[in-house]
Amino acid sequence: MIKAWSLVGFAASPLSADRHEELIETLRLKTGTRKSKNEPLARALANVGNASDVVAVVGWNVEIDPGILLSGKALDQTEAFWRGTYPDGFLVCGQPLSQILIVDFDEVGCVIEELRFGLD
Q: Residue-wise pLDDT tens for the chain (120 aa)?
A: 788 889 999 999 998 888 888 877 877 776 778 889 889 999 999 999 988 899 999 998 887 788 899 999 999 999 999 999 999 999 999 877 778 899 999 888 899 999 887 654
Adjacent-strand bridge partners of 94: 55
Paired sense of beta strands 89-94 and 67-71, if any: unpaired
Instruction: Decide if 42 contacts 79 (C-beta within 8 A).
Output: yes
